[in-house]
Amino acid sequence: MVYLASEDRYEGMKYNRCGRTGLKLPAISLGLWHNFGGTSNAENGRNMVTRAFDLGITHFDLANNYGPPPGSAEQFFGQVLANDLKPYRDELIISTKAGYHMWPGPYGEWGSRKSLISSLDQSLKRMGLDYVDIFYSHRFDPDTPLEETMQALDHIVRSGKALYVGVSNYTAEKTAEAVRILKDLGTPMLIHQPRYSMLDRWIENGLQDVLEENGIGSIAFCPLEQGMLTNKYLNGVPEDSRAASASVFLNENNITPEALRKIRALNQMAAARGQSLAQFALAWVLRGGRVTSALIGASRPSQIEENVAALNNLEFSSEELERIESILRSTDQEQKPVQQ
């Protein structure tokens, strides 16, 4: 069946300016880290991508090693582009990255000029594209001069293979250094992609200040903490969950009694606002406008619909924010009654 995008796809989405640039990103973006690779159901993946676009999600985030196997998420997305989204290419923001291990040998990871440019060339072939909208250095390389990595990003923009560049997983200090180098080269940094959620707030200790001072946008990955900030784990660890499968990124050791107590307390607050826990967590990440976009994953279209509905209630009272801080700061010891 020929795909025709919904005519009202832009009516319900919120778009935020990315730093001090002219580019706007949807408040909710779709990441293809999991569930879109060669081992996943292709028709379900296609339905998720097209449903996301129908809901106004114009930004699709990939990386060279997404899958599994590595590269298969880009291959899949290239097929959806060719079969369904090709007429809408100018309405899309497509990003990819390089930096984590992708192929054997000394050039298949990290941040050398050789590695980044070779990887992007491969990514463009897999997706059938002439250019991506955003290309990221996926992680800081301690063994390559930062000047070399940033010069490679500058070259990539000047060669027409990417419109904008950014970094991911860089510390505040290294981000500030990268910003300076790129500015001197004449290719400003557009965006930083850090991990950020109610349960992982490291970016509040300096990185957000660096981004604001330099007019750089941010897109938060894992805003639902790999599913911990959803209703999935409210009653423990389901057998079919990511935590039960002993994922590298989430396992049963993360679902501690203290974590469950906090998640359940946050879920009660969400219910009082008429939101699911996932919607509540996404709204919190987007609070105050310091984050440009929240990057979600999904395993079915209904999850995307639920997450986009978070935009219906993004405001928090000062009392709500104080209560959230109290829940996140508290420990099991603080919650236990005094034994007489």
Rg of the chain over all Cα atoms, to the nearest angstrom: 20
The token pair that represents 60 in the structure block: 């699709």
Place 241 in a pLDDT band, splitting at 50, 70 and 90.
low
Q: For residue 106, how far is the Cα from the chain centroid? A: 28
The answer to whether residues 63 and 97 touch, using CB atoms and an 8 Å cutoff, is yes
Question: Is pLDDT of 339 > 70?
Answer: no
What is the spatial distance between Cα 278 and Cα 232, in angstroms, rounded to a whole number? Answer: 10
Q: Domains of the chain, with CATH numbers?
A: 17-225+285-299 (3.20.20.100)
pLDDT digits (tens, 9 = 90+) for 170-206: 999 999 999 999 999 999 999 999 999 999 999 999 9
Question: Is pLDDT of 335 > 50?
Answer: no
Which amino acid appears at position 83 of this protein?
A: N
pTM of structure: 0.93
Burial 238-273 (b: 16+ CB within 10 A, else e): eeebbbeeeeeebeeebbeeeebebbebbbebbeee
Q: What are phi and psi of 61, to 5 degrees?
A: -110, 125
Mean pLDDT value across residues 150-154: 99
The bridge status of strand 15-17 relative to strand 24-26 is antiparallel
What is the spatial distance between Cα 137 and Cα 315, in angstroms, rounded to a whole number? Answer: 33
pLDDT digits (tens, 9 = 90+) for 304-325: 999 999 999 999 999 999 999 9
Which of 170, 150, 137 minimizes the C-alpha distance to 64?
137
Place of tokens 């998720």: 48
Q: Is the peptide bond before 188 cis (omega within 30 degrees of 0)?
A: no
Place of tokens 């001090």: 20
pLDDT digits (tens, 9 = 90+) for 248-272: 555 566 778 898 999 999 999 999 9
**C-alpha to C-alpha distances, 81 to 3, 89, 236, nearest whole angstrom:** 11, 8, 39
Query: Higher-confidence residue: 250 or 146?
Result: 146
Which of 183, 182, 180, 118 minimizes the C-alpha distance to 151?
182
